[in-house]
Amino acid sequence: MRIVIALGGNALLRRGEPLTAENQRSNVRTAARSISTVVPGNEVVVAHGNGPQVGLLALQAQAYQAVRPYPLDVLGAQTEAMIGYVIEQELGNLLPKDQRLATLLTMIEVDPHDPAFDDPTKFIGPVYLREEAERLAAELGWTVKPDGGAWRRVVASPRPRRIFEIEPIRWLLEQGVIVVCAGGGGIPTVLDEEGILHGVEAVIDKDLASALLAEELGADLLVIATDVDGVYLDHGTPQARRLGTVSPAELARHDFASGSMGPKVEAACGFVERTGHQAVIGSLEDIEAIVAGTAGTRVTPAAAMVG
């Protein structure tokens, strides 16, 4: 099968964990062990989040006052290369020595008039207590919002429209290369009225970008790997129950948190509806079972059961 695996931010950094290179490498090493189990016999593409990493780079840029901070599209490109390097290295250490891997910086077009620019929702950077978050917002011109029991910076998250490097990604896959791409949702770019391409201050949702990537590659399966074993109804209550096999229509009857499971459900449903193929939301640790069809919440065009 041709499989696109979208690694959630937890694959790179646990919530509240210090943003150190050592912690990120340790988490990627764990993710690589899971991914390596599904490489034999399949074509594999890996996408990943970058919220904590791009936020950290933005904070570091604020500490150097001699020049203006680099824009988010440039920081996104930096995180794509950094995270791709670690994923390549850790996967390569587990796979046969003749297995080729490549990280491809990926520019993704967004609409400059997307309403997301007027309502920032994408969390980046570390978590703060409310008082500290509001102080930073006042000092640095940020927008901050609650994220669970903490507060974080939010930036615009426009919808992905087109992946500029889709042909090179396809060529690499056809040559047996494991491709790491669309990291952090890809580098957000826009075409101006003269047809000139340039970056924009935003961060694209990784799950929506991964769904577009899977669609344009003709993937057989989209795996959205996170830190829970599936999609739950009544999450956090005694009545919580995990959905097994489910259709997009069934999922559409329920509301999911916009800052966590909502984009994952939207991405999975969109991919299934547009392609007729399957998507699974589940735990990174269960990727082998997910590909085998025995774990996670499986979204299918016409689900035979829900449970």
Say how far apart CA 123 and CA 259 lie, in whole Å: 8
9 noted as active-site residue: yes
> For residue 99, what are the contacts with CB-CB under 8 A and spacing of at least 6?
39, 92, 176, 178
What is the amino acid identity at position 120? P
Alpha carbon 118 to chain centroid distance?
22
Is 206 considered catalytic here? yes
Write out the H or E segment, with its range, that includes residue 109.
strand 107-109
Is the separation of the CB atoms in 24 and 13 below 8 Å? yes
User: Which one of 206, 230, 270, 296 is the catalytic residue?
Assistant: 206
Catalytic residue, from 8, 183, 264, 270: name it.
Answer: 264
Burial of 294: CB neighbours in 10 Å, binned 0-12, 13-18, 19+: exposed
10 flagged as catalytic: yes
Task: Identify the active-site residue in 8, 9, 76, 183.
Answer: 9
Write down the catalytic residue from 8, 10, 27, 230.
10
Distance CA 105, CA 115 (A): 26
- Quickly list H helices, 42-108: 51-62, 72-92
Catalytic residue among 50, 122, 184, 185: 122
Residues 6+ apart with CB under 8 A from 271: 211, 214, 215, 222, 277, 279
Residues forming a β-bridge with 187: 107
Catalytic residues: 9-10, 122, 206, 264
